[in-house]
Amino acid sequence: MEEFGKSKDKKELLKLLIRKLHEGADPETLKAEFKDVIGHADASEIARVEEELIREGVSRDDIQKLCDVHLSIFREALERVRATPPPGNPIHILQEEHRLISELVSEHNSVVKRLVGVEDPKVADEEIMRLKDIEERLKGEESHYLREENVLFPHLEKHGIVEPPAIMWMEHDKIRGLKKNLQNIHANRQSMKFQDFKANLEKISNSILETVSNHFYKENNILFPTALRVIGEDEWPSIRSQFDELGYFIFTPEPAKMAMTLSKEVVSGAASRNVAFETGELSIEEIESIFNTLPVEITYVDKDDTVRYYSQTKDRIFVRTKAVLGRKVQQCHPQKSLHAVNKILDEFRRGLRESADFWIRLKDRLIYIRYFPIRGKGGEYLGCLEVTQDITDIKRLEGEKRLLDWP
């Protein structure tokens, strides 16, 4: 892979600049001091420098908090070089979705500002209905983030770009949290004074607009140009195929209707081979079909914490894509849950735990998530199995239904 930056000195100067920002130096003073290096910086160099700083001890949280300051320093240099992928390329699709989502978020903020000046309850109800309509449409925004987290980010990680995607994922979770707060404001409307309701609504709407705008700017001007530079041309058709599989925001953006030429995969004759077990023999096709037919989702992580396999059940609960294969499981979870993931895996390795169970609500469904250590015949740790199941209907069962009662 091509080395980032044309000069070690330039990289060290960029690191020094960002370190000084983190130490509280005045951005305007630094602009003058580092004028030449700032003027010739590009997105991939900035991404690599932030990556190295995190490895040297600067926390992700600190980098994320000061990203906006970094961008204010590098803004002119970044905007001189626009990421211009061809229509149909996954990055072009993401950019188009940024535009669509930004328009909805801005419209939402405008309606909130109108509502703040309304005193007539009937007029207020009309504006609130408009807000709820926009918020309903914005729910489709989640597919945009899921495609980035489960397809684009893993491909960047394979090229050594690990920390910028992790920081962007943190911002995705921040946006999700703000939207949840917005839902809570609506849910508690009746228990609040109308003026308090409007004030809370305006505050959260302003936060969403600012956060989304800043986040999209970082992706458009740093993450996406970096992706276009490091990801090979032969990888984009597979990324696009996985994008199509996961689906798009609200409607299929025009660029997503343009097909990419998919490279033909050579299908081996492995599916016809049989695998002998102690209790029987199955073909590769039979094994795969059994896993995909089980009423649970299975994901297997090996002893080195690398995702090796996931089943493809008919109605998946959690998103999985081929891009996660070969990815460290820690990179498949948001930063806030990493301590729990690492604790479970560590206890599995040390033989201190034989399962870890969790259950969560997704809309009106109850989801049961279980983790099990996989051990060899000698008891050695081979990896971890995640089993996920929708148990909503199971919990409703009563009495008996015997085979003789069928049909």
Task: Say yes or no: 139 and 221 in one domain.
Answer: yes
Task: Say yes or no: 208 and 302 in one domain.
Answer: no
Task: Say yes or no: 96 and 213 in one domain.
Answer: yes
Of 80, 113, 130, which one is at a domain's C-terminal end? 80
In tens, the pLDDT along 245-288 reads 888 877 677 778 776 654 444 444 555 678 888 899 999 889 99
Task: Say yes or no: 249 and 320 in one domain.
Answer: no
- In three-state secondary structure terms, 82 is coil
Residue 356 has pLDDT above 80, yes or no: yes
Of residues 183 and 43, which shows the higher confidence score? 183
pLDDT of res. 342: 94
Cα(268)–Cα(287) distance, rounded to whole angstroms? 16
Structural domain includes residue 280: no
pLDDT of res. 27: 72
Q: Residue 93 has which token pair?
A: 């699709």
Task: Say yes or no: 128 and 174 in one domain.
Answer: yes
Structural domain includes residue 229: yes
Task: Say yes or no: 201 and 99 in one domain.
Answer: yes
Structural domain includes residue 275: no
Task: Say yes or no: 101 and 173 in one domain.
Answer: yes
Task: Say yes or no: 58 and 101 in one domain.
Answer: no
For the chain, give the mean pLDDT. Answer: 85
Structural domain includes residue 17: yes
Q: What is the mean pLDDT of residues 327-345?
A: 89
Lowest mean pLDDT among 200-209, 280-289, 342-351: 280-289
Interior angle at CA 258, CA 254 and CA 260, nearest 5: 145
Structural domain includes residue 406: no
Is residue 130 within 8 A of residue 118, CB to CB? The reply is no
pLDDT of res. 152: 97
In tens, the pLDDT along 304-327 reads 999 999 999 888 888 888 888 988
Length of the chain, in residues: 407
Cα(331)–Cα(337) distance, rounded to whole angstroms? 11
Interior angle at CA 225, CA 221 and CA 230, nearest 5: 150
Q: What is the CATH number of the domain that holds 362?
A: 3.30.450.20
Of 33, 50, 80, which one is at a domain's C-terminal end? 80
Task: Say yes or no: 305 and 235 in one domain.
Answer: no
pLDDT of res. 78: 66
Structural domain includes residue 267: no
pLDDT of res. 94: 95
Enclosing domain of residue 139:
90-257
Number of domains in the chain: 3
Task: Say yes or no: 39 and 154 in one domain.
Answer: no
Task: Say yes or no: 216 and 331 in one domain.
Answer: no
Task: Say yes or no: 114 and 71 in one domain.
Answer: no
Enumerate residues 6+ apart whose C-beta is below 8 A from 242.
Answer: 147, 150, 151, 321, 322, 323
Residue 101 has pLDDT above 80, yes or no: yes
Enumerate residues 6+ apart whose C-beta is below 8 A from 219.
Answer: 94, 98, 148, 168
Structural domain includes residue 2: no
Q: What is the CATH number of the domain that holds 185?
A: 1.20.120.520
